[in-house]
Structure 1
């Protein structure tokens, strides 16, 4: 990829983003020369923008809202008071008989479909059963479930009755799940007895038992499968999911206030008690309609998938495809079984038009020498998305060289915290290597320098200076709002601090440089870790890497670079010299590591983020059980190695 990718006219001119811009001109008299002008308007006039979004997507409420935004302040913004709606009701506006709503592929390749009418009938039957169980608006309904259609049905049924949904992946241990669910006192739990991953079946019967006995608030347990060995505590009544979804009932969603809680999602919990983050029906509906319907250009004719586990906010975003009428396709299990071509074949098998995954998966395919166009027919695929960590520049080139030269590559950056994206794709804009295309509509994102001033073409702290409807309503149990304030607004009063280093380019794009709390600060010069990784992982022998900078009071800092090497490679002096030379030339001589160490693996959270901060804290002397929670990790088996390394390091 030697030059910017420019969207073909067939994509740009016929996109929903272009149609929205034209509608603003016709219906509102707002004429914008380009996206940058429209973005500026959307962030300077949030009331007008979010009302326009409401009207464009024809959202419905039986009662009018008295305002769009009562107060432009964070925290405490109040959106659309008086409006009543329901997430599941917006989904079911798209029901039609001739189209799949959900496609599911198990790891062994078995594929099943659920059409829109079947999905609505199952949701209606399950919702009726939940009401019969005494589930009322505001009650908490939780799931310990894999990435299947049944999980989507359970969520939609809970949402349709106004219950508050919360979900954990079945690869998480019971203690980790209890840390989350105990905070919200659920009345109902859905469970699966196990899951398949990497060619192996993982029995979770013991974890299910522990959850049933460990959640004192539970009254009902809905089993997704045969859980005969499990006998629930006396106060809990068991139900079989398959029986409940066959109940004949009309779909009758409970219309709730715009800010009625929809779900509770959690911060990673790798370094402490996970934050239970509450988002509302209206905010999520608007944010996901915007992100998926405009920035991702999805509609009723699309088939959309984001490879994810149920423990990642991207599962919620994937389900959001239903809000715009798209078919969603769920790939369950390992992305690399039977081989690394599995998901590329899935794109072909499911007829995907849009697909996303974590950046680490793309770079893994690149490192393995995968050529996707030789593995599968990707002619229907229009868009590729990436998130979780920065996508390195060489991966952009790899995509255009090995997938298709006319593919639209649209990396995004946002987070669990507000269930959306600050930086997103745009079918009307070019793709520049290493950059995300634009700041999302309605997201007044800036890069702040050390004095708290916005800067362009310089690295700064990623902040959002205007409220958005999907920002947290509150953190569950945070009665005085202090934890919410301390999490996002303590650094810059009234301004959301996201915790990333970002550079906004003069052209309006953006580059993420890693987490700001994992900054490499060498001799007074700050550097995001992504700068290091881009150079180091360009070496063919390096499969993955992690860097930490250990700062000691009154002593010189110590920068350690951990490498996971490709099979058959070894960390010899020649490789070290090449890495050091590359860092000196492409980053700076100040950012050469003091040590380069071969490690068996690089630790990741379940949401695909490198665990720089926990490893840094361990190397500074904190106990491993205080800085990292294995069940919140994708690969906890590597912690023992880092713990042993830290002991040796501290002894020295």
Structure 2
């Protein structure tokens, strides 16, 4: 057995899993062999996508009218369609329970808590959807939200989708210009917002920002405002969310729309320009999320699922879909480390989380700070999921030593582009340190070299998807000729989805992501993934985090590494040599940075991803135009003034 082996589910857990039940269903209904090997099941699913998705619709009890055209494959990837003659209502699939059990629980960093039952959630959604109808909103009109991760955001989304409106949300950590850059493009008629929110011990008002948004986005006809806490009084300048619910009767009609009815508009990061508006359909989002939650994460009715996210990250949309499994979802708003670094584990214990979802950076932080969850009762915790960036091998080992021994640690990777995962975990396979367990069911992933041929053995290459899948974007906003979407995903390899991750398949059958393709380093023409260097650098206790980029220099590329030090540490010559020695020993001499410098901070997106491209642009003499996409843009001044900047 591989020395990197960490965990395997018990036979009992496997036999009681949704995935095993699905395999039994396929055996009984379709006379297929009983798949007990995950790769065999995946191979069948990508060879028979029509049969897979048709069977999963029935098995998962998707509510709607399933037509006969399950998959129409055409010559063009983008012209192929799933469930072309099927109809459904997204909200109806999430609101099928009407009990007094808790559907959603909210906890803010200030200690404020609030719950809503399935029954009241259903009623509130129906009341708000009635308000939308009475105020003239039509199918495909946009409803925008500038909201913290609260219950009202989910009520707004479900009411919007119930009527066939298109939902788009930004979290309040976006400044006014960042919101305008996104919402001005899609011209929403309604804006739902909040009076204030908390972060890192600060109470932050949104009122002045909302007034600015009203002036800068002329399409907004109505602003609905909710109270963060029940005792707060929202501004009288706007329509009260609570008053809408009190003044409207529930409209309990659920019209069925076409499978590709637009549901969400999500946004690219916008680091290099105005964010692209990515439109996802109701059917594709629903069936992909239910597959991931139900089969890959083994979510069952009445489970308690949590993901640390904001309304500006696609993991929020993913978390909301947990309702379609009959699970109760848990929301947290604020800093994950305030007032103490164990705040999320207290929440996990108090509400008996079944699934605990966080970013890889959060786990890395806990590891560096030697946090142990041993004092917490995590008996109900079955699965820990990680996404946002590659999870380091050492962080896998840390979880099993310091968080919980008997848990499925599922590193997942996909993105806003696919509103889901391309590679992720499953209950059948073993967990190996540093490896994502496998490809997502019915997603025909492969790894190509730059010539467009599949790599051999365990060579690194480009993550691609060779066949259409339901959760592809249905369009980019204002892209009628599909020029933007073709440029984004189909310009590198003909008629093949190019995802933009630099990836490798292991001898265990899993995957290791070495970073984003556009951030790879090319010294001497050899491609190096940034994650390979981060894995070495961030093993040093003295270093909090780092960013590594390639800079054009003497007709080649040199590697430049910046490190942010932990408190009370400085980058010494001795530590610099230790870093270089570690990289040389564990990677290769080509991986060793030409320059290592200490920086005050590392630029990150709102969802916590390191923005390598911005640093690379600055060092190569280019300007970063869209600072609103960066959570801490003030730190870019350091990189601009390092003395390394190439003069054009």
* TM-score band w.r.t. shorter chain: over 0.9
SS in 1 for 2:464: strand
Maintained 8 Å contact 2:6/2:400 = no
Distance of 2:391 and 2:4 partners within structure 1: 17
Q: Which segments of 5 or more consecutive residues in structure 1 lack a partner in the other structure?
A: 232-237
In structure 2, the CA distance between the partners of 1:575 and 1:322, relative to structure 1 (3 Å rule), is same
Q: Which segments of 5 or more consecutive residues in structure 2 lack a partner in the other structure?
A: none
1:441 Cα shift? Answer: 0.2
1:241 is matched with 241
SS in 1 for 2:139: coil
2:358 is matched with 357
In structure 2, the CA distance between the partners of 1:72 and 1:93, relative to structure 1 (3 Å rule), is farther
1:229 Cα shift? Answer: 5.8
2:641 is matched with 644
2:48 is matched with 45
Maintained 8 Å contact 1:63/1:82 = yes
2:272 is matched with 271
1:535 Cα shift? Answer: 0.6
1:64 to 2:52 alignment: no
Distance of 1:189 and 1:386 partners within structure 2: 31
2:538 is matched with 537
Q: How does 1:183-332 map to 2 (within 5 A)?
A: 183-225=185-227, 231=237, 238-246=238-246, 247-332=248-333
Maintained 8 Å contact 2:504/2:512 = yes
Maintained 8 Å contact 2:149/2:333 = yes
Maintained 8 Å contact 1:446/1:504 = no
Deviates more, 1:408-417 or 1:445-454: 445-454
In structure 2, the CA distance between the partners of 1:399 and 1:72, relative to structure 1 (3 Å rule), is farther
1:96 to 2:99 alignment: yes
2:372 is matched with 371
1:168-205 Cα deviation digits (max 9, x unpaired): 11111111111111111111111113210000011122
1:403 to 2:403 alignment: yes
Q: How does 1:15-34 map to 2 (within 5 A)?
A: 15-31=17-33, 32-34=35-37
Deviates more, 1:481-490 or 1:519-528: 519-528
Q: How does 1:473-622 map to 2 (within 5 A)?
A: 473-552=474-553, 555-622=555-622
Distance of 1:623 and 1:277 partners within structure 2: 25
Distance of 2:295 and 2:593 partners within structure 1: 43
2:150 is matched with 148
In structure 2, the CA distance between the partners of 1:223 and 1:110, relative to structure 1 (3 Å rule), is closer
1:164 is matched with 166
Q: How many residues align?
A: 639
Maintained 8 Å contact 1:410/1:424 = yes
1:344 Cα shift? Answer: 1.1
SS in 2 for 1:523: helix
1:234 is matched with none
1:411 Cα shift? Answer: 0.8
Maintained 8 Å contact 1:549/1:616 = yes
1:276-296 Cα deviation digits (max 9, x unpaired): 000111000110000111101
1:523 Cα shift? Answer: 1.8
1:35 to 2:31 alignment: no
SS in 1 for 2:378: coil
1:341-373 Cα deviation digits (max 9, x unpaired): 111111111210101111000100110111012
Deviates more, 1:109-118 or 1:151-160: 109-118
2:82 is matched with 79
SS in 2 for 1:527: coil
Distance of 2:9 and 2:551 partners within structure 1: 44
Distance of 2:304 and 2:622 partners within structure 1: 46
Maintained 8 Å contact 1:305/1:329 = yes
